[in-house]
Amino acid sequence: MLYKQNETGVVTFEEVSALIKQHITENNWKNVLILPPDISRFHSGAGPITALYYDELTARGCSVKVMPALGTHIAMTKEELHRMFGTGIPDEAYIVHDFRKSVVEIGTVPGDYVDRISNGLFSDDVKVSINAELLKPEYDAILSVGQVIPHELAGMASYTKNIVVGCGGGEMINVSHFLGVFTGRENILGVADNPVRKLFDYIQENMLDGKIPLTFIQTVMAQVDGKDAYKGFFIGTDRKPFEMGVALSHKVNITHVEKPIKKCVVWMDPASYHSTWVTNKAIYRTQKAVAEDGEIIVIAPGMCMFGENDLADKAIRKYGYRPRAEMLEIRKQDPFLQENLSLAGHLIRSVPSPNTKITYCTNKLTKEEIEHANFCYMTVEEALALYPCEDWDIGWHTLENGEEVYFVRNAALGLWMYDGE
């Protein structure tokens, strides 16, 4: 195992580079597959890491392919690939994951195990499928690159999630999302020991370890002086790097506010967040800090759609986001949602209380579309006139009218909580 972490300072990219070069030198690979996240995880620090691995490996005569772990997200455009990974990786080196067509089954998680870990929430056998590329015998190493950070469905992101969800098939995506949402986002966020992670651990131990040449390369990131900074970098083939990343992430990615936030203004990077499917992180990651009668204002100039694929977009446009009990009743009547558990789970409007107001600010979806999805609407210009946050630091701000707001720049980089009553 190789690692470097710095809770109080930063891990420089020079230090990250040194560990990457050491990692490569210690191995004699001829064929490597790299599995980085997609553009929605641009701030994970995985882009420069992937590019450096590619450059160093190919310079040593190694054949390298790169397959972004899309899950159900749309494929990255050439512009997005270049923005995240640079221009040094040729187009032909990229492979596009398709969760419907490019996966093969590798095993089944028994229903009695799923029933036990979910306290009876789900008791069916779960088939596990992953992209067929991962099973090709010519690969000496498969490098899974990801970020350890609080996550609304897995509790803490990275490790096996990158394989069975990011590079996985529909059934595992559906079941893991269902377990995460119906366990309760408010209960699972930031918690590493939960039903979804136990499901992933079963797969790791019984279907992946010793069968696929996986190495996990994991970061812990934070915003320092308004820029993405590495706080930890971990390389290893077992669960230990993930556990170390979780411990560090709890220290650097969770912000405990001293009082409930009445109005939370969240800016979401327009180059990375294009759909409510991923931009809703602005809600999930701040909801535990917002007062029951508070408001979350999401300024998302790049948001132009609801779902990251045709099925998701259609479902969100049809039903919008609903309270948990209401969504459960709708699911009982809709065979499509019964088959697509992840969509049913995603459609739950996860906020501290029904009195919490959520306002989406975008110019690429109409007021009617946003309101039909059960959010309030504001244009980007209107939002910035009220909350001129482009140069704000993260934290509390007092407006000219005396109103106090809390600002979050890119909620996907952390978790905000109020611990009081």
CATH superfamily of 255-418: LarA, C-terminal domain (3.90.226.30)
The stretches in the chain having pLDDT less than 70 are 350-353, 421
Q: Whole-angstrom Cα distance, residue 382 to residue 126? A: 47
Question: In this predicted structure, what is the pLDDT of residue 351?
Answer: 64
* Model pTM score: 0.88
Q: Whole-angstrom Cα distance, residue 346 to residue 358? A: 16
Question: In this predicted structure, what is the pLDDT of residue 337?
Answer: 85
Say if strands 415-418 and 254-257 run parallel, antiparallel, or are unpaired. parallel
Contact call for residues 408 and 389 (beta carbons, < 8 A): no
- φ/ψ bin of 166: left (φ > 0), alpha (ψ from -120 to 50), beta (otherwise): alpha
Give CATH 3.40.50.11440 domain extents, the chain. Answer: 2-252
- Angle of helix 78-85 versus helix 46-59 axis, rounded to 10: 80
Contact call for residues 139 and 213 (beta carbons, < 8 A): yes
Question: What are the pLDDT digits (tens) for 43-62?
Answer: 899 999 999 999 999 999 99
Give CATH 3.90.226.30 domain extents, the chain. Answer: 255-418
Question: In this predicted structure, what is the pLDDT of residue 421?
Answer: 67
Q: Whole-angstrom Cα distance, residue 287 to residue 416? A: 8
- Residue 77 carries which DSSP code? P
Question: In this predicted structure, what is the pLDDT of residue 339?
Answer: 81
Question: In this predicted structure, what is the pLDDT of residue 262?
Answer: 97
Buried b (16+ CB within 10 A) or exposed e, 134-162: beeeebebbbbbbbbbbbbbbbbbbbbbb
Is CATH 3.40.50.11440 what the domain over 2-252 is classified as, yes or no?
yes
Contact call for residues 43 and 10 (beta carbons, < 8 A): no
